[in-house]
Structure formats: C-alpha cells, structure tokens
Amino acid sequence: MSRKLKKGYFVRGEFVAEGSERDIELKAELKGTDDQSRTDLKRESTELQKLGTDLLDLRADLLARLALSDKFKDAIADAKRITNFEGKRRQMQYIGKLMRQLEPDVLASVRAALDEQANGSTAEKLALHQAEIWRDRLISDEDAAARWISQNPGCDTQQLRALIRQARKDAKPEKPGAAVRHGRAYRDIFQLVRETLGSIPQREPDAPAFNPAHEAS
C-alpha cells in the first residue's frame, strides 16, 4: 500500500505540512501581511529552491569558487548520490534551508556562477564577439585578409583565402531579393578565427585587443 503524501506547501525551500506547528507559526506571521508581500515571499521561495536545485549541476571548478560552507558542499554531494525519491526530496528541502541562510553577496556569487556556466564568462563572450567581427569583416572587406595575416602571421594563408572566396560565393543570393545564405565556409572562418584568437597570449592591461571594426574606420 502506497504511503499517502502529506498535504502542505513550500516556503523558501522548506516543506510545511498543513496543521503542523510550522504551518501555524507561518500563518501567524502572515496575519496582517498584504497580498503583495505574500506574493514576493512565494517568488523568493521559488527562486531559492530552483537555485539550490541548479547547484547540483554546477561544474566543480565553479562550485569550488563559491564561499559555501563545507556543510553546504557536503549536502550538495549527498543530494547527487541519493536516488530515492523521498530521500532526494528531503535533501533538497535541507539545501533550500541552507540557501535561505546565505549572505546576499554569496547568493549573488551563486547566481553569477550559474550564469557563467549557462552563458560563458565575460572573457569568453568577448572572444566570441571578436571572432564574429573578424569573420564578417574578412568576408565583406577586401583588405581585411591582409590585416588579419599581418596580425597573425602563423595562420594558413592559403586556407583562409580559399574559405573567404567560398563564403563570398555562398553569400550571393540565387535570385534577386532572396535572403543571404551562409554555407560551411562561413562557419569554418569563424572557427579558424576563434581558435587563432584563443591561442594569442593575454595582453598587458595597457595594450587593448585589436578591434577590426575600429581599424577599418
């Protein structure tokens, strides 16, 4: 016979059974609280619960950078190992409780780490943006290849020029007014540029990265 689940609700990651002492306590606290405050409380609870769940999938290097207590990190490790549904649920409640105890700056760092994992670091975003600028400039500007080669003398000049020719050919609409299409050469140029930029040693702070858009102006 299956166990009947208790009726209740979550508050800031904590499951509260209806009729329990905690339920009575919370209802007493909320007496006289306006609807907007209750909505904000529910929204905060939902967000913290989700952040706690997302921490289970955070990369080890990003997790290590967070100023979380050993108790918190052990709780995350335990949650990853638990496969039993009820055990997992209880462990996530515990993690939700720990989330509510985090200082604002630590909570902000948790959000930043999760964002970095999902969208890449600022440096990675900048590198991708630079590669996109170079790709478009190489295809559209006749003089861009010479500038790229002078900046990166070790690149495969023959391969680069062949890719540029093919990308320009692919970009020509088959019919007047048709949308521009991008073929494999377009993607290969981006990959070539991205890999080259990634191999360039970091410059000193007083030597800004070369921007093809500025150079062309």
Question: What pLDDT is stored for residue 217 in this prediction?
Answer: 46
Structure tokens, 110: 């948790």
Query: What's the average model confidence in pLDDT over 56-81?
Result: 91
Could you say which DSSP state residue 19 is in?
T
Instruction: Tally the C-alpha atoms within 13 A of residue 64's C-alpha that lie toward its C-beta.
Output: 3
Q: In Å, how far are 75, 184, 192 from 37, measured between CA atoms? A: 30, 54, 53
- In this structure, the number of other CB atoms found within 10 A of the CB of residue 18 comes to 11
Q: Residues with Cβ < 8 Å from 92, sequence gap 6 or more?
A: 13, 49, 52, 53, 79
pTM score, whole prediction? 0.44
- Residue-range domains of the chain with CATH: 8-119 (1.10.60.30), 122-216 (1.10.60.30)
The dihedral formed by the CA atoms of 99, 103, 107 and 108, expressed in degrees to the nearest 10 = 170
Least confident of 130-139, 155-164, 203-212: 203-212
Q: Which amino acid is at 213?
A: A
Query: What's the average model confidence in pLDDT over 165-185?
Result: 79
How far apart are the C-alpha atoms of 185 and 112, rounded to whole Å? 35
Query: Over 80: is that where the pLDDT of 154 sits?
Result: yes
pLDDT band with cut points at 50, 70 and 90 for residue 69: very high
pLDDT band with cut points at 50, 70 and 90 for residue 114: confident
Question: What pLDDT is stored for residue 206 in this prediction?
Answer: 34
